[in-house]
Amino acid sequence: MKTQYFAAASLDGFIATEDDSLEWLFPLGDINETSYPSFIQQVGALAMGSATYEWMVRNTHTVSGQMGAAWPYTQPTWVFSTRTLPVIPGATVTFVRGDVRPAHEAMRAAAGSRNLWIVGGGELAGQFHDAGLLDEIIVQVSSVTLGKGKPLFPRRLTNPPLRLERVKQVGPGFAELHYTVPKSNR
């Protein structure tokens, strides 16, 4: 069981524009040609922040077109928010707030031997890293720059650095980088 932060980022390190647009991402390639389909098969539980969840609430049509359903996940999902949010029909969602560790315990219990996916955003992935719970970072580096936006991972992580395990090109649109987080970084 690994805790993995898997996200697509612009070349200059943003996962969304400052107004939460992902329009730049979808023309870059077919998600089914990336490592996502094999990745998601190994996932037993998901965690996401409220901006990511609310993007899915607002963009059910786009999500449906890209991924086949308005809520494409069969796995239970933990959504971090201090507010009361609507539930997307068909979604198994638990709303939580504060310390990520109790949610991580509950996710582990639900996932069994399968992996935990930290969907994003970057600050939430950083909170899991701060608690020593992040094992891997998988980034689909996209062939665009955004100039500004929502950061991939707003942490300084230098010593020791991440360990690059694999690199895969997906057409002209993506370079997938697969990193492990060294134990002494936790």
* CA atoms within 13 Å, Cβ hemisphere of 145: 2
Residue 80 interacting with ligand NAP (CB under 6 A): yes
Q: By CB under 6 A, what part of segment 21-60 binds ligand NAP?
A: 22, 25, 48-52, 55
Burial of 60 (0-12, 13-18, 19+ CB in 10 A): middle
Dihedrals phi, psi of 104, to nearest 5 degrees: -60, -40
* Cα→Cα distances 72→4, 66, 84, Å: 18, 10, 22
Residue 12 interacting with ligand NAP (CB under 6 A): no
Name which of 13, 8, 84 is nearest 53 in CA terms. Answer: 84
Beta-bridged to residue 110, according to DSSP, are none
Residue whose CB is nearest to ligand NAP in the complex, by number: 49
Q: Which is nearer to ligand NAP, 51 or 157 (CB)?
A: 51
Residue 81 interacting with ligand NAP (CB under 6 A): yes
Q: Write each residue from 102 to 141 as x if it is in contact with ligand NAP (CB under 6 A), else as -, in one continuous string.
A: -----------------xxxxxx--x--------------
Residues lying near ligand NAP in the complex (CB under 6 A) are found at 7-8, 15-16, 20, 22, 25, 48-52, 55, 80-83, 97-98, 119-124, 127, 150
